[in-house]
Structure 1
Amino acid sequence: MLRDLYTVDILTLTFIGCLIIVALSKTLFTKRFNEFILLLFNSRHTNLYIKEQRFFDLFEGLLFLNFILNLGLLLHTYLNEQSLNRLPQVDVFKYALLIGLFLILKVLFERLLSSVLDIEPIIDKYIFEKTSFQNFVGLVLLPINALLIYTLTPNQTLLITLLAILLALQFFGLFLFIKNNLNVFRKSLFYFILYLCTLEIAPYVVLYKIITTNWV
């Protein structure tokens, strides 16, 4: 049964926009998209396209846009559940913009740091795989957001469970990356652990604090 909806114009338009973005990426890059959706089951996508990665890749750019918009939708739903008053739906775009800028600046800093530590090859591959899994999470979020917006009544337990599942997907990607590159890590394991601690944990805590402090 569909839940009683308040105005969902912006949420609906955002969701439709995400569907269009995904459809466009599949239409323009059919072969790559079909390989991409099997990311959890094999490394074919990574092996084929990591050597072709550029500063800006249209396929990755489209899926990245879908990811930040869907994450903005989910974050809005979560924070709206935590807030005493309904949050403006336009905040979805604020969340998406902040997340997008944060991730882009983070990647730029990661590349700079990898150059300083002389671990560019392994970090370049890691960034590619991490970005791929982020974009995959964006696809997973599409049906989840549809259910949260139009069918299910969000509650804290449900939302935390969903966030835990999404984090598990990201950690699964990290596990696969480490598993497939054990030989390389023997040469730079210390620096990679240092990298993970400083750039894969602390920044997200800071980002969450910024969002919850300023927009809830």
Structure 2
Amino acid sequence: MLRHIVSNELFTILLVIGLIIVAIAKLTSPKRFEDFILVLANDKYLKIYSRDQKFFDKFDALLFTNLILSVSVFFFIVYKQITETHSLSSSTMFKLTFSIGVFILIKVLIERLIGSLFEIDKLIDQYLFQKISFKNYLGILLLPINALLLYSFQPTMPIIYGVFFILFIVNIIGLISSFKTHQSLIKNNLFYFILYLCALEIAPYIILYKVFISK
């Protein structure tokens, strides 16, 4: 049986698509994109746009699509380094991208459902907006990182750990920002919020890790 080899051409296409998607987001909402890029430096973006958040937001949807593509490419780079695999079927790459997207979407929908059940919709909606904003920021950050790892630097485990550390720091900044913004709401609903964090922020990734290392 012939095996389809994935060359860097496929990843070049994915990177270009990601860049085009980010460019569209910038062209359609230039002021919002300008505020979004500075989200790590100040909370102006989070304060302004959390008020007008919708269930489906075109700006977030565009950046979310780039996030899925960027994370998929980065996962392949990590997988290739860990397993020393230099080839991957195109169908496997598609399944990986699709699975990441479905996982994040289902997780968000469950989080909204939990928020409704615990009657903390306002807290969860605002928290999700901030969390998704920082994840979308990671998607943009991964664009140049993926390009460097694919075409400039030979990926090594220290480099990959360094990238994971950068992504972790951005996530921590996002969590701190969320806690600072909603500290009064969190204090009033501390038990439910801790339960939410354990069930939907920590447990899913522990399960994924267990599944990954068991293979």
With structure 2 as the length reference, what TM-score do the two structures score? Answer: 0.91
Structure 1 residue 139 corresponds to structure 2 residue 151: no
For residue 156 of structure 1, what is the aligned residue in structure 2? 157
Cα distance in 2 for partners of 1:152, 1:182 equals 42
For residue 38 of structure 1, what is the aligned residue in structure 2? 38
Q: How does 1:1-216 map to 2 (within 5 A)?
A: 7-88=7-88, 90=90, 91-210=92-211
Cα distance in 1 for partners of 2:16, 2:28 equals 18
- How far the C-alpha of 1:201 sits from its partner, in A, is 1.1
Cα distance in 1 for partners of 2:35, 2:138 equals 15
Per-residue CA deviation, residues 80-129 of structure 1 (Å, 9 max, x unaligned), is 11114324163443222111101110111111111111111111100000
> Which segments of 5 or more consecutive residues in structure 1 lack a partner in the other structure?
1-5
Mean Cα displacement is larger for which, 73-82 or 37-46? Answer: 37-46
| Change beyond 3 A, Cα 1:67–1:211 | farther
Q: Give the conservation status (yes or no) of the 8 Å contact 2:79–2:85.
A: no
Equivalent residue pairs, number = 209
With structure 1 as the length reference, what TM-score do the two structures score? Answer: 0.91
Cα distance in 2 for partners of 1:179, 1:25 equals 28
Mean Cα displacement is larger for which, 86-95 or 70-79? Answer: 86-95
Cα distance in 1 for partners of 2:178, 2:107 equals 19
Q: Give the conservation status (yes or no) of the 8 Å contact 2:22–2:62.
A: yes
Q: Give the conservation status (yes or no) of the 8 Å contact 1:11–1:89.
A: no
> Which segments of 5 or more consecutive residues in structure 2 lack a partner in the other structure?
1-5
Cα distance in 2 for partners of 1:48, 1:168 equals 24
Identity %: 39
Cα distance in 1 for partners of 2:210, 2:24 equals 34
Residue type matched to 1:30 in 2? P
Per-residue CA deviation, residues 143-193 of structure 1 (Å, 9 max, x unaligned), is 101100100000112112201210221121001110222211221011111
Calculate the aligned-residue CA RMSD, in Å: 1.7
Residue type matched to 1:151 in 2? S
Q: Give the conservation status (yes or no) of the 8 Å contact 2:15–2:70.
A: yes
- How far the C-alpha of 1:11 sits from its partner, in A, is 0.7
- How far the C-alpha of 1:213 sits from its partner, in A, is 5.8
For residue 3 of structure 2, what is the aligned residue in structure 1? none
